[in-house]
């Protein structure tokens, strides 16, 4: 992609569309979305104006954590199709000008993976050290106090080896020992397998969990907080079961491999209390990953101007500093419109929200249905699938509520492909179908297309530096600049009108959302001007 004579990699400033395959499109009527279903809807995705799709895991898995527990890294789970279906998907995406990104999960596998079956069989087999095995304390207790993300100790006893194995997530997700060079080699071979099948990049899941403290030191207690703690995991500073200083060296090996191919994009998922420092370490210079996936907005209970400016300030346009990727929603986080505004404000808020997303410096990631204004669905306990929500009911908001099927049509099954989808669509979301919004020129779907097109049309919005980010009460003023072009955005994140001085909004108006003018921002309005 060339902007003003400067050649940029395709991914820099890209808009990426996340697809959760179980819930996107069901091609065979079994109630679960699949790869042929995705392929059948790629024209829709391309029409949005995004540059790439990111497909959440579709690998062979017992589905205890819905694909993030991988039993075979080199194959497609039968519920999603076959390898040939994946190849067809990649071919069609490329025909439409879409890049294809997939997840890679290197911090753990499923306990049904052949590697783990061999590893647990004895203490002296060829893969004995491929997972984290530790003897019990003299009193039989686990070797450390580390806690699992999903609740309970991060150690499970295995009678075959008479040792504990580490799992930072479910007990069925044993921790791979990424300190072992052979395990790193195996992971890189998996990556090469998918690169050779034509993928254009990877989102690397839970990368900061890839290595543990080999001294097996206990985590210290977390300081007191006003925030409610629903898991033992929240009571510790996770100093030793994650965030190991050797992870960036493994990242360098990933980058060396991807550099053997053409224009491959890598983005790290990094959550936790020290995420900012880790994201920078994983993306530093030209020898690490291209980008890091920010959590700044995903769990925020309110969208504020200060939150936006604070997030952008962490990633200034400086040599050697990585490139950020932003998302307001994903498969793990509650839908943003259910967190950030009242029900009667959602229509206006959604238009302002997608306008703001399109103006952020970095890559922007839309989660399927976000362009329709989908909201969190309240899933009854007896229909839950999310293991974390089931274990911590009702104090953990179910991830299932953000994973509901895509509403293609306003009918009983939403055009998803089955009358009995794996999760209910939700009555409100069914009414926000693609079919209904395509027919309405004023819909959020059309507005999203317009904003993504605008982002591509203006170098300042696509890849420009942030030259100003100002907070005035509920108003955010964001200025971007590239190649002699400046775009200034005014965003009202509140429910009361805000007066503007016409002089500061002077210039050519390129977008006015929710009734914005150069002198007034109604509630949740946005104004973009080229100055």
Establish if 158 belongs to a structural domain: no
Output b/e per residue, 268-289; b: 16+ Cβ within 10 A. Answer: bbbbeebbbebbbbbbbeeebb
CATH code at 500? Answer: 2.60.40.1180
**Segments in the chain below pLDDT 50:** 1-5
SS3 of 285-348: the string is CCCCCCEEECCCCCCCCCCCHHHHHHHHHCCCCCCCCCEEEEECCCCCCCCHHHHHCCHHHHHH
How many angstroms separate the CA atoms of 435 and 407, rounded? 9
Pair 409, 486 in one domain: no
CATH code at 418? Answer: 3.20.20.80
How many angstroms separate the CA atoms of 251 and 308, rounded? 28
Of the three residues 396, 429, 453, the one that is the final residue of a domain is 453
Residue 2 pLDDT: 36
| pLDDT tens-digit series, residues 383-401 | 998 888 887 787 666 799 9
Contacts of 308 (CB under 8 A, 6+ apart): 356, 360, 469, 476, 478
Establish if 32 belongs to a structural domain: yes
Establish if 388 belongs to a structural domain: yes
Residue 387 pLDDT: 86
Residue 231 pLDDT: 86
Pair 405, 501 in one domain: no
Cβ atoms < 10 Å from Cβ of 447: 21
Contacts of 420 (CB under 8 A, 6+ apart): 31
Residue 5 pLDDT: 36
Pair 272, 418 in one domain: yes
Pair 484, 448 in one domain: no
Residue 6 pLDDT: 57
Report residue 242: phi and psi, to 5°. -155, 175
Q: Which residue has the tokens 């009414």?
A: 431
Establish if 272 belongs to a structural domain: yes
Pair 393, 473 in one domain: no
Residue 294 pLDDT: 86
Please list the active-site residues: 205, 260
In the structure encoding, which two tokens stand for residue 523, read together? 């509630």
Per DSSP, what are the bridge partners of residue 16?
52, 365
C-alpha dist (Å) from residue 108 to 74, 130, 210, 215, 351: 15, 10, 8, 20, 39
| pLDDT tens-digit series, residues 333-385 | 999 999 999 999 999 999 999 999 999 999 999 999 999 999 999 998 889 98
Residue span of the structural domain in which 483 resides: 464-530
Q: Which residue has the tokens 């053409």?
A: 262
Pair 468, 426 in one domain: no
Contact present, 231 and 151 (Cβ < 8 Å)? yes
Establish if 126 belongs to a structural domain: no
In the structure encoding, which two tokens stand for residue 142, read together? 């686990």
Judged by DSSP in three states, 397 sits in coil
Length of the chain: 531
Pair 48, 101 in one domain: yes
Pair 486, 344 in one domain: no
Residue 3 pLDDT: 41
CA Rg value for the chain? 23
Of the three residues 422, 453, 484, the one that is the final residue of a domain is 453
Establish if 168 belongs to a structural domain: no
Establish if 62 belongs to a structural domain: yes
Pair 272, 341 in one domain: yes
Under DSSP, the state recorded for 56 is P
Establish if 406 belongs to a structural domain: yes
Pair 317, 366 in one domain: yes
Pair 299, 379 in one domain: yes
Total domain count, the chain? 2
Q: Which residue has the tokens 């942030």?
A: 466
Of the three residues 453, 477, 501, the one that is the final residue of a domain is 453
Helix axes 444-457, 346-358, angle to 10 degrees: 20
Contact present, 374 and 366 (Cβ < 8 Å)? no
- Are β-strands 52-55 and 99-105 bridged in parallel, bridged antiparallel, or unpaired? parallel
Pair 214, 332 in one domain: yes
């Amino acid at each position: 992609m060339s902007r003003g004579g400067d050649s940029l990699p395709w991914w820099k400033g890209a808009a990426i569309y996340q697809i959760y395959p179980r819930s996107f499109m069901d091609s065979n009527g079994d109630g679960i979305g699949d790869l042929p279903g995705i392929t059948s809807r790629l024209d829709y995705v391309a029409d949005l104006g995004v540059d790439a799709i990111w497909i959440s895991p579709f690998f062979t898995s017992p589905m205890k954590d819905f694909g993030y527990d991988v039993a075979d890294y080199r194959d497609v789970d039968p519920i999603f199709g076959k390898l040939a279906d994946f190849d067809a998907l990649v071919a069609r995406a490329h025909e439409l000008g879409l890049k294809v990104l997939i997840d890679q999960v290197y911090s753990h596998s499923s306990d049904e993976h052949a590697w783990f079956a061999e590893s647990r069989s004895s203490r002296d087999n060829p893969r004995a050290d491929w997972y984290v095995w530790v003897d019990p304390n003299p009193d039989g207790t686990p070797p450390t106090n580390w806690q699992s993300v999903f609740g309970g100790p991060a150690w499970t006893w295995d009678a075959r080896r008479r040792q504990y194995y580490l799992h930072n997530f479910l007990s069925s997700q044993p921790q791979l020992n990424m300190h072992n060079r052979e395990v790193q080699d195996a992971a890189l071979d998996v990556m090469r397998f998918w690169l050779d099948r034509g993928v254009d990049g990877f989102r690397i899941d839970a990368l900061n969990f890839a290595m543990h403290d080999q001294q097996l030191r206990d985590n210290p207690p977390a300081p007191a907080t006003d925030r409610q703690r629903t898991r033992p995991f929240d009571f510790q500073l996770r100093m030793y079961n994650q965030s190991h200083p050797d992870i960036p060296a493994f990242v360098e090996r990933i980058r060396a491999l991807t550099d053997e191919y053409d224009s491959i994009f890598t983005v790290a998922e990094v959550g936790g209390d020290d995420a900012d420092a880790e994201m920078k370490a994983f993306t530093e210079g030209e020898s690490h990953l291209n980008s890091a996936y920010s959590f700044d907005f995903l769990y925020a209970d309110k969208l504020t101007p200060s939150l936006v400016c604070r997030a952008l300030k962490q990633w200034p346009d400086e040599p050697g500093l990585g490139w950020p990727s932003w998302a307001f929603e994903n498969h793990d986080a509650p839908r943003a419109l259910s967190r950030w505004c009242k029900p009667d404000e959602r229509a206006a808020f959604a238009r302002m929200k997608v306008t703001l997303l399109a103006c952020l410096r970095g890559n922007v990631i839309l989660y399927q249905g976000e362009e329709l204004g989908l909201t969190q669905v309240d899933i009854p306990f007896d229909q839950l699938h999310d293991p974390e929500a089931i274990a911590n009911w009702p104090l953990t908001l179910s991830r299932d509520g953000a994973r509901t099927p895509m509403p293609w049509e306003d009918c009983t099954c939403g055009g998803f492909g089955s009358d009995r989808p794996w999760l209910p669509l939700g009555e409100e979301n069914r009414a926000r179908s693609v079919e209904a919004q395509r027919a309405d020129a004023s819909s959020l779907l059309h507005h999203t297309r317009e904003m993504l097109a605008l982002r591509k049309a203006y170098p300042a919005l696509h890849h420009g530096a942030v030259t100003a980010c100002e907070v005035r009460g509920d108003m955010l003023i964001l200025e971007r600049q590239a190649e002699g072009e400046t775009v200034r955005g005014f965003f009202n994140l509140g429910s009361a009108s805000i007066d503007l001085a016409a002089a500061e909004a002077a210039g050519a108006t390129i977008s006015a959302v929710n009734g914005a003018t150069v002198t007034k921002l109604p509630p949740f309005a946005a104004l973009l001007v080229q100055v």
